[in-house]
């Protein structure tokens, strides 16, 4: 049930409106009947109008607070819509026409602006990635096309062009303070773009922003090649030794060396460790406690608890002792603004020194899981350690647990078909004879 109150909707009222924990809060305008503000748990604020058309009640979304929608602009739009209602017309008809004329570029902007309020379990960082993906690859190819007119053939051609690198460009500003990115194509980018575009069109159809069918739902792609590289224990020791040597030679800074060590010791994701804050370190329980918005499955699993071993704790304690004045981040950037991000180059340098080939940063996470399985940890426990929301994700490590499985079936076999007892006289039974249990 929505929390409601009445007040004249002004900029001060809008910005002071408290976000509810669940559902939505509504502030009804005291001047214009039916004009109200919706406030969502994410803090998003949306202007809307409730009106009666014949015997039916309708709600028309005006727009999200912010440029161009201010309280006055939204109030003027509400007045215009009510005048349309008084003339016996439905203001939603105008929006229906807009839906039919909505271009793919406009759908992209609508999706990244209004979508977060409807997908509360999706991380903000994922929305940023999706927006960049759609703007860099879908917009150049289909941006001017009416969204409702895009065919499955056009969608398939667009994904094929992305896979072939036709949307790749030279350095493009990322919109972040830290500079530039390079837009690349390829099979992996095409696969992600297909999924993102399909989700966008599905959202547009579900929320009545466009009509028709989802053109990307029928696009078929070849299965992705599986890239899994597990370090052996000996390789892991070589990597640690290489980090120590390069750190002593001042070829790698302590920040990145410690971050790489912690990645292998915890099985955490790169962003979880690089963005780690001191406030997320629970010394008493030897855990890292990451809020849902900092984890991939946070919307489903809630707070992510990463248990830290004594060696991992030692790294954190050493870093704490080394800084008289602790900043916000465990691994701060050199500029002191934000946290460290460019870990790939020092990681590759360490791999080269350790004579490791075809290893990615994410493979440290795979290796952590493989060590756990090799030591007898169940797949359920490994899933908990890695923070997986679904057991299906953990099943990729099932083949590593061959020995424990073999031990389990061997035990069952011994129960059903016991090994023959040695004769009292010490003679051995003929190898062709056997005892069976009648079930």
pLDDT in tens, 186-213: 888 999 999 999 999 999 999 888 888 9
pLDDT confidence of 257, banded at 50, 70, 90? very high
Tens of pLDDT along 49-88?
999 888 888 888 898 998 778 999 999 999 999 998 988 8
When pLDDT is averaged across residues 410-425 and rounded to a whole number, the result is: 61
244 and 358 share a domain?
A: yes
- Which of 171, 206, 241 delimits the end of a domain? 206
Q: Is 69 exposed, middle or buried (0-12, 13-18, 19+ CB in 10 A)?
A: middle
The answer on 262 and 183 residing in a single domain is no
Does pLDDT of 359 surpass 50? yes
Do residue 130 and residue 74 come from a single domain?
no
169 pLDDT tier (thresholds 50, 70, 90): confident
CATH value at residue 324: 1.10.443.10
pLDDT reported for residue 424: 59
Clarify whether residues 67 and 27 are in a common domain: yes
In a domain, 216, yes or no: no
- Model confidence over 5-33: pLDDT tens digits? 899 999 999 999 999 988 899 999 999 99
The yes-or-no verdict on residue 182 having pLDDT over 80 is no
Quote the CA–CA distance of 425 and 87 in Å, as a whole number. Answer: 109
Helix (H) or strand (E) holding 53: strand 45-53
CATH number of 43's domain: 3.30.160.390
> Are residues 294 and 362 both part of a single domain?
yes
Compute the average pLDDT of residues 163-190.
69
Cβ atoms 311, 265 nearer than 8 A: yes
Asked if residue 317 is part of any domain, the answer here is: yes
Most confident of 162-171, 310-319, 385-394: 310-319
Distance of CA 282 to the CA centre of its chain: 24
In a domain, 310, yes or no: yes
Tell whether 221 is covered by a domain. Answer: no
Boundary-marking domain end, from 51, 77, 101: 101
Q: Is 411 part of a structural domain of the chain?
A: no
Q: What does the pLDDT read at residue 239?
A: 95
Looking at residue 438, what is its pLDDT? 37
With cut-offs at 50, 70 and 90, classify the pLDDT of residue 403.
very low
* Structural domain of 368: 233-402
pLDDT in tens, 315-334: 999 998 876 556 789 999 88
- Residues 240, 167 share a domain: no
Residue 284 placed within a domain: yes
Query: In the predicted model, is pLDDT for residue 301 greater than 90?
Result: no
pLDDT band at 341; cut points 50, 70, 90 = confident
pLDDT value for 409? 55
Asked if pLDDT for residue 436 goes beyond 70, the answer is: no
Residue 246 lies in a domain: yes
Region of 179 on the Ramachandran plot (φ > 0 left; ψ -120 to 50 alpha; else beta): left
Of 101, 132, 166, at which residue does a domain stop?
101
Q: Are 330 and 361 in the same domain?
A: yes
244 and 385 co-located in one domain = yes
Separation of alpha carbons 166 and 274, rounded Å: 33
Is the pLDDT assigned to residue 161 strictly greater than 90?
A: yes
Q: Is 278 exposed, middle or buried (0-12, 13-18, 19+ CB in 10 A)?
A: middle
- Alpha-carbon distance of 366 to 91, in angstroms, equals 55
Q: What is the mean pLDDT of residues 108-121?
A: 88
pLDDT at 253: 92
- Residues 86 and 124 placed together within one structural domain of the fold: no
**pLDDT band for position 167 (cuts 50, 70, 90):** confident
Residues facing 240 on adjacent strands: none
Question: Is residue 246 located within the same domain as residue 332?
Answer: yes
Looking at the fold, whether 318 and 189 belong to one and the same domain comes out as: no
Stronger pLDDT, 400 or 370, i.e. the higher one: 370
Does 416 fall in a domain?
no
Hey, which bits of 137-218 come out as E strands? 171-173, 180-182
51 shares its domain with 184: no
Q: Report the domain count for the chain.
A: 3
């Amino acid at each position: 049930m929505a929390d409601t109150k009445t007040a004249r909707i002004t900029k001060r009222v809008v910005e002071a409106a408290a976000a509810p924990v669940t559902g939505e809060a509504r502030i009804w305008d005291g001047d214009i009947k039916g004009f109200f503000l919706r406030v969502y748990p994410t803090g998003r604020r949306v202007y809307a109008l409730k009106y009666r058309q014949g015997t039916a009640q309708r709600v028309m979304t005006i727009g999200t607070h912010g440029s161009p929608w201010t309280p006055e602009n939204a109030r003027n739009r509400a007045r215009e819509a009510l005048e349309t209602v008084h003339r016996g017309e439905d203001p939603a008809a105008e929006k229906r026409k807009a839906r039919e004329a909505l271009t793919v570029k406009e759908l992209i902007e609508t999706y990244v602006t209004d979508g977060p309020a409807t997908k509360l379990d999706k991380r903000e960082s994922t929305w940023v990635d999706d927006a960049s993906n759609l703007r860099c690859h879908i917009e150049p190819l289909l941006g001017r096309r009416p969204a409702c007119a895009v065919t499955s053939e056009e969608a398939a051609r667009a994904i094929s062009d992305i896979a072939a690198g036709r949307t790749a460009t030279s350095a493009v500003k990322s919109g972040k303070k830290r500079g530039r990115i390079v837009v690349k194509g390829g099979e992996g980018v095409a696969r992600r773009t297909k999924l993102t575009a399909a989700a966008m069109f599905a959202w547009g159809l579900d929320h009545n922003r466009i009509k028709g069918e989802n053109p990307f739902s029928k696009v078929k792609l070849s299965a992705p090649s599986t890239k899994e590289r597990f370090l052996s224990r000996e390789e892991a020791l070589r990597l640690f030794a290489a980090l120590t040597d390069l750190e002593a030679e001042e070829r790698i800074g302590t920040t990145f060396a410690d971050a790489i060590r912690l990645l292998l010791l915890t099985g955490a994701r790169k962003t979880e460790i690089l963005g780690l804050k001191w406030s997320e370190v629970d010394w008493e329980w030897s855990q890292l406690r990451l809020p849902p918005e900092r984890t991939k499955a946070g919307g489903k699993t809630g707070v992510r608890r990463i248990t830290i071993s004594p060696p991992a704790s030692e790294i954190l304690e050493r870093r704490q002792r080394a800084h008289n004045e602790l900043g916000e981040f465990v691994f701060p950037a050199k500029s002191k603004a934000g946290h460290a991000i460019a870990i790939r180059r020092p990681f590759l340098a360490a791999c080269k020194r350790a004579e490791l080939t075809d290893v990615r940063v994410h493979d440290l996470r795979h290796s952590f899981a493989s060590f756990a399985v090799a030591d007898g940890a169940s797949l359920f426990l490994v899933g908990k350690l890695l923070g997986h929301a679904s057991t299906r994700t953990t099943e990729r490590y099932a083949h590593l647990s061959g020995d424990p499985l073999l031990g389990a079936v061997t035990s069952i076999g011994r129960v059903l078909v016991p090994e023959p007892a040695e004769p009292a006289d010490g003679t051995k039974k003929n190898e062709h004879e056997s005892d069976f249990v009648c079930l």
